[in-house]
Amino acid sequence: MSTIPRASSAIPGQPPSFGTALAHQPGLQSRFGALYSTFWMQGVVDHRTKEITRMRNARVTDCGF
């Protein structure tokens, strides 16, 4: 388990986070954003079900973030 932030923020003035670390790779960041936002905003699975599975996956993988 990480005890310190392992990747720095690529955005000055902002703390390390998933988004600011991913900003070290702008191409990856923008394409991930396009994919993940489409996943949430569109589709045949309702939002509630997606959120339940997201939360359950975080619990199973013990991801407190």
Partner 1 sequence: MDTPAACAQNPHMGWLPPADDGASFEALLRHRPELAALYKQFYGTFWDDALLPRALLELCRLRIAQVHGCDAELAIDDEQAALSPERRQALERWQDADCYAEDERAALVLAEKMPWQHHEITDGEFAHMRSLLGERGAVALMVALALFDANCRLKLVFGLNPAPATVPQPASAAGPLY
Binding residues for partner 1 (CB under 8 A): 1-4, 6-8, 10, 21-22, 24-25, 27-28, 31-32, 34-35, 38-39, 42-43, 61-62
Q: Are 12 and 20 in contact (CB under 8 A)?
A: no
Pick 24 or 47: Cβ nearer partner 1: 24
52 residue type, one letter = I
How many residues can be counted in the chain? 65
Pick 25 or 55: Cβ nearer partner 1: 25
**Distance (Å, whole) CA 63 – CA 16:** 16
- Please, what is the minimum distance in Å from the beta carbon of residue 24 to partner 1? 4
